[in-house]
Structure 1
């Protein structure tokens, strides 16, 4: 048994559920989310601040067992014997977190590809933030992961970012080192003995009202690099509660990744267009 609803306007998931599930206590609704009883467009969601857009299909099951048998599979963009690239949805962890027991892309993909007689092992080549959607790459062996990582600096990494404001000039390069503060888990921008080199190139694709869509190229790949750099510049990513303003959906999408696979003569290019809920942030 389950209840099915359709979003008529943009909102966060929790207020939507409270309005629809009249008679349910807030604690009961949170428990349903925590135990995996809620899906949005057939994708399991556990975050109460998940952003909804008009037309989204929300399903609330009586128990997580009711949806586990039909758990949606991750969208595989590329697969060979050594590498697998997927389109990670926003709100899903790349890998397991010791502080968060939520589902993660590594575990889902491993279950998706494994057979009872032939379990699959995977190693993450890189990671993208939980609230970032887009290209995520895994290797099928530790050796392949290490081989790809040796040439990671030459990989081409392209993102789309929706930011608050209209950058002036419309494009440029941010060359500011970054240092992680382990206490608040946030990047500090600027010179410091412990800071590491970080370079971000950006161009404005278009602006609508008080927001802009940027195309971002990473010359380096530091943690939170795009988010920290753009916030430092004065144009924080929409929905980024750590470096900007809290929101239901963060405006960051990993559009394209190009690597040279060890032993190959031509680069491999993985690309996936941004989902509707990402583009809706620009309006």
Structure 2
């Protein structure tokens, strides 16, 4: 059941939630907001700076109704499967893992239902996550132990993305070596030196350019939250459709194309690859 609050004075949504959800950590509040679990006057919003006026009604605990695509999505494309790991293609618009127990429209839940047979319920552990609006290769482990073994070698895994950005970088290839840290007030990453910032390294190559946009191949040495999105925005070339770090659009131009890991049992490199869909490349024009 949703908690309902009436706004007494003008405020920003995230500030209001911090003030009225005293028993929750700021991290949890941000996750609920991003997980489409907050509504203002009956309308779901994920914007931290959504303006609140006196008399507005804020609901916490609601779940966004599944989109038409999500409602019809009953199976995910499996790229590779053995008794230890499963690699899938996650379409854009789908959460990797649910932020609330009520939300069943996420990749983990769909794949679990897809693989389970009757009372034999499959258990899965996400090795990593992709943002809701990022499509591409997503990896799960069939046990907590297998997940930990994969993660032990995660720093040497190869993670290649495609990104469509605003404008064209001056250099055809380059490296962004800028530390990242979560902002204390809003759900985004702060780029730059700070005592709490963690190292983050992103490499990029320009694959194609049009008049106003460019297609980049991006690889990351680290896997910080929003790393590619924050780094490219810092470079001055935000990802198309990335409202948080750039300009709002119908689709976001970020796709996880290839993932190479050390298999937890075979101890050999394994690669999983999926090209971006046609609608992704359409963003370049």
Indicate the TM-score class for this superposition, using the shorter chain for normalisation: 0.7 to 0.9
Query: Bigger CA drift: 100-109 or 118-127?
Result: 100-109
In structure 1, stretches of 5+ residues that fail to align are 1-26, 28-32, 46-66
Q: How does 1:1-283 map to 2 (within 5 A)?
A: 34-36=64-66, 39=68, 43-44=69-70, 71-98=73-100, 101=103, 103-283=105-285
Structure-2 separation of matches of 1:271 and 1:183: 36
Q: Secondary structure at the match of 1:44?
A: helix
Q: For residues 187-245 of structure 1, what are the alpha-carbon distances to aligned partners after superposition, in whole Å with 9 as ceiling and x for unaligned?
A: 00000000000000000000012000000010111110000000000000000000000
TM-score, normalised with respect to structure 2: 0.75
Shift of 1:182: 4.3
Structure-2 separation of matches of 1:99 and 1:231: 33
Q: Secondary structure at the match of 2:283?
A: helix
Q: Secondary structure at the match of 2:87?
A: strand
CA RMSD of aligned residues (A): 1.9
Shift of 1:265: 4.2
Q: Secondary structure at the match of 2:280?
A: helix
Shift of 1:44: 2.0
Structure-2 separation of matches of 1:218 and 1:99: 31
Aligned length: 225
Asked if the contact 2:70–2:94 (Cα under 8 Å) also holds between the matched residues in 1, the reply is no
Q: For residues 85-110 of structure 1, what are the alpha-carbon distances to aligned partners after superposition, in whole Å with 9 as ceiling and x for unaligned?
A: 00000000000113983610000000
Q: For residues 249-268 of structure 1, what are the alpha-carbon distances to aligned partners after superposition, in whole Å with 9 as ceiling and x for unaligned?
A: 10000000000012324211
TM-score, normalised with respect to structure 1: 0.76
Structure-1 separation of matches of 2:229 and 2:223: 12
In structure 2, stretches of 5+ residues that fail to align are 1-41, 43-62
